[in-house]
Amino acid sequence: SQQGEEDPQALSIQEGENATMNCSYKTSINNLQWYRQNSGRGLVHLILIRSNEREKHSGRLRVTLDTSKKSSSLLITASRAADTASYFCATALFMETSGSRLTFGEGTQLTVNP
């Protein structure tokens, strides 16, 4: 079963607005990662937040993590048409032999209208 579940499944906003996507998960994790996928391409890593961190920033991205609620959010500020993509959260559990095993949610499709 999928560990991460994103909400909403789809989000449509105007350029310049902020976009917030949420992710919930079920079991304990080592870290949570957010990825972006443009149509027809592979996933691109955006940001990683460790289980002992509560908030992290990277450019226009802000990620929060609440381990007590088993949830995370990704905020994209001042969105641009180029931000249109699918966004996935992935929970990571480190296995000694296999590195970081990631379990992905189904993604949020973000459309930013010019």
Partner 1 sequence: DAGITQSPRHKVTETGTPVTLRCHQTENHRYMYWYRQDPGHGLRLIHYSYGVKDTDKGEVSDGYSVSRSKTEDFLLTLESATSSQTSVYFCAISESEILGQPQHFGDGTRLSIL
Token pair 């920033």 is at which residue? 57
> Is-contact 74 20, C-beta < 8 A?
yes
- DSSP code string of 60-81: TEEEEEETTTTEEEEEE-S--G
What Å distances lie between residue 47 and 6, 12, 74, CA to CA?
16, 22, 9
Question: Which span (18-26, 53-61, 65-73, 102-110) binds partner 1, by CB under 8 A?
Answer: 102-110
The nearer residue to partner 1, 15 or 47, going by C-beta atoms, is 47
Asked if 99 touches partner 1 (CB under 8 A), the answer is yes
Asked if 107 touches partner 1 (CB under 8 A), the answer is yes
Asked if 106 touches partner 1 (CB under 8 A), the answer is yes
The nearer residue to partner 1, 42 or 114, going by C-beta atoms, is 42
Tell me the pairing of strands 108-113 and 99-104.
unpaired
Asked if 31 touches partner 1 (CB under 8 A), the answer is yes
* Residues that bind partner 1 in the complex, under the rule CB under 8 A: 2, 4, 30-31, 33, 35, 40-45, 48, 50, 88, 92, 94, 96-107
